């Protein structure tokens, strides 16, 4: 396994593996990797994309379950005369990219000898954590808004997880989950450092499948995916597997766009009360917001919001291409369409990847 340490993203204080926030300042943590401890062989690049290929880039000894996540297709489609590529994260076992993060964070919980995990979710992550905990033979408690999708709540229960419905939005559920984890000494899963590590493989696979894209469009809730994709790309640059950084385009709904507002105005990240049809990304205050903004700055990235109608149109357009996606999962594509309709030249001759993140 690679050498790494856990550090606070703000004050660099070192923490033990089962911490989920800095014990000094409360900020989130990062896995600081000693890259000299990772050996990428010559055959690495040409090996088939599947999650086990990337084990050496994850901070775990092994996968503690056969989850079947990752190895999703990158498929080309034409939007008018423009070719784009969709990264089909809907092909993961629970229908979203969340399975990549769950495989890593729950393997870590097992490695640390923990037998219970908890997490807060808008739905998809709860489903994924519930499934992976079940596969690993440990128990899961999921905190979710009482207003969350009934179908998602039913799926979480079907994996045998305990459900705690919270009177409030995702950020209220998150505060409850963190208080529970501290009191109950339960391993905290969800949008924290180990999940971020697992979700880096979205980036590894995109590069292994298409070389060097110019743009990567993705939706933002807690901005863990955004931060993870940036970290994955940076690692590929470091290992000589990628020559130039793609521009990342982060997409949120107009009805819940704290990261877009902060990035575009240069002001502080502020809580926005979520009111969007894109329930998956209805996160009023993104946990990885500051990291996400830094990632956009470093890739000359763009942050854009889309209307509820643009989200609905994106779902229908994808459906016509035989691609099922929920509103949050289609948001990256809605963001692409917003630019494309205004300025077709922007994408001419460019390699554009759009991550379709979920279909629940
Ligand atoms: N797409 C889907 C389908 C999601 O479920 C989420 C997040 C995102 C995009 C955004 O990813 O949070 O890393 O920026 N869902 C979380 C959940 C919040 O609880 O399922 P992010």
Domain boundaries, given as residue ranges, for the chain: 1-38, 74-96+195-356, 98-193
- Residue 27's φ and ψ, nearest 5 degrees, are -75, 170
Ligand 1 close to Cβ of residue 218 (< 6 A): no
Ligand 1 close to Cβ of residue 252 (< 6 A): no
Residues 223, 225, 231: CA angle, nearest 5 degrees: 105
- Whether the full predicted model's pTM is greater than 0.85, yes or no, is yes
CA neighbor of 339 nearest in space, from 225, 212, 214: 214
Per DSSP, helices labelled H in the chain are 98-111, 124-136, 150-158, 170-184, 193-199, 201-210, 224-238, 258-265, 289-298, 308-320, 327-342
Distance of alpha carbon 90 from the chain centroid: 13
Q: How far apart are CA 51 and CA 242, in angstroms?
A: 19
Q: What is the pLDDT of residue 185?
A: 87
Pocket test for ligand 1, best of 94, 100, 328, 354 (most atoms within 8 A of CB): 328
Phi-psi region of 283 (alpha: psi -120 to 50; beta: other; left: phi over 0): beta
Question: What is the distance between the terminal CA atoms of the chain, rounded to a whole angstrom?
Answer: 34
The answer to whether the beta carbons of residues 189 and 106 sit under 8 Å apart is yes
User: Which ligand 1 atom is at minimum distance from the Cα of 122?
Assistant: 19
User: Which tokens is 209 given?
Assistant: 């499948």
The answer to whether the beta carbons of residues 262 and 194 sit under 8 Å apart is no
**Rounded to whole angstroms, what are the CA distances from 202 to 30, 150, 157?**
18, 28, 27
Ligand 1 close to Cβ of residue 258 (< 6 A): no
- pLDDT tens for each residue of the chain, 360 residues long: 999 999 999 999 999 999 999 999 999 999 999 999 999 998 998 999 999 999 999 999 999 999 999 999 999 999 999 999 999 999 999 999 999 999 999 999 999 999 999 999 999 999 999 999 999 999 999 999 999 999 999 999 999 999 999 999 999 999 999 999 999 989 999 999 999 999 999 999 999 999 999 999 999 999 999 999 999 999 999 999 999 999 999 999 999 999 999 999 999 999 999 999 999 999 999 999 999 999 999 999 999 999 999 999 999 999 999 999 999 999 999 999 999 999 999 999 999 999 999 999
Distance of alpha carbon 22 from the chain centroid: 21
Residues 311, 317, 322: CA angle, nearest 5 degrees: 125
- Residue 139's φ and ψ, nearest 5 degrees, are -95, 155
User: Which tokens is 313 given?
Assistant: 């149109």
Ligand 1 close to Cβ of residue 95 (< 6 A): no
Domain 74-96+195-356 has CATH 3.30.70.100: no
Written in H, E and C, the secondary structure of 178-192 is: HHHHHHHCCEECCCC
The count of C-alpha atoms lying within 13 angstroms of the C-alpha of 132, restricted to the half-sphere facing its C-beta, is 35
Region 98-193: CATH code: 3.40.50.1100
Ligand 1 close to Cβ of residue 145 (< 6 A): no
Q: How far apart are CA 94 and CA 280, in angstroms?
A: 14
Which residue has the least CA distance to atom 19 on ligand 1?
Answer: 121
CA of 344 to the centre of ligand 1 (A): 29
**Rounded to whole angstroms, what are the CA distances from 246 to 237, 296, 337?**
11, 10, 18
Ligand 1 close to Cβ of residue 148 (< 6 A): no
DSSP SS3 for 43: coil
Ligand 1 close to Cβ of residue 250 (< 6 A): no
């Amino acid at each position: 396994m690679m050498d790494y340490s856990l550090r606070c993203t703000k004050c660099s204080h070192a923490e033990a593996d089962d911490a989920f926030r800095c014990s000094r300042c409360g900020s989130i943590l990062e896995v600081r990797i000693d890259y000299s401890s990772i050996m990428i062989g010559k055959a690495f690049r040409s090996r088939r994309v599947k999650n086990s290929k990337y084990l050496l880039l994850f901070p775990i000894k092994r996968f503690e379950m056969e989850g079947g996540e990752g190895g999703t297709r990158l498929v080309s489609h034409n939007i008018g005369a423009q070719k784009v590529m969709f990264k089909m994260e809907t092909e993961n076992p629970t229908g979203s990219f969340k399975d990549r993060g769950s495989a890593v964070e729950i393997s870590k919980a097992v490695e640390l000898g923990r037998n219970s995990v908890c997490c807060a979710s808008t739905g998809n992550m709860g489903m994924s954590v519930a499934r992976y905990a079940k596969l690993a033979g440990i128990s899961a408690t999921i905190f979710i808004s009482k207003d969350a999708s009934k179908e998602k709540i039913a799926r979480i229960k079907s994996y045998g997880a305990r459900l705690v419905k919270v009177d409030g939005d995702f950020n209220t559920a998150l505060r409850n989950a963190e208080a529970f984890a501290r009191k109950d000494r339960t391993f905290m899963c969800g949008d924290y450092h180990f999940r971020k590590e697992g979700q880096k493989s979205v980036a590894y696979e995109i590069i292994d499948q298409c070389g060097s894209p110019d743009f990567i469009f993705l939706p933002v809730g807690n901005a863990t995916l955004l931060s993870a994709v940036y970290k994955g790309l940076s690692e590929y640059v470091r290992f000589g597997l990628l020559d130039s950084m793609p521009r990342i385009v982060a997409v949120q709904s107009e009805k819940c766009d704290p990261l877009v507002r902060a990035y575009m105005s240069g002001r502080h990240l502020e809580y926005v009360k979520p009111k969007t049809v894109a329930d998956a990304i209805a996160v009023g205050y993104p946990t990885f917001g500051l990291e996400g903004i830094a990632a956009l700055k470093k890739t000359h990235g763009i942050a854009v919001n889309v209307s509820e109608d643009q989200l609905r149109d994106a779902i229908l357009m994808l459906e016509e291409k035989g691609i099922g996606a929920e509103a949050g999962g289609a948001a990256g594509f809605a963001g692409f369409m917003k630019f494309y309709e205004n300025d077709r030249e922007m994408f001419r001759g460019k390699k554009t990847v759009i991550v379709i993140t979920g279909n629940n």
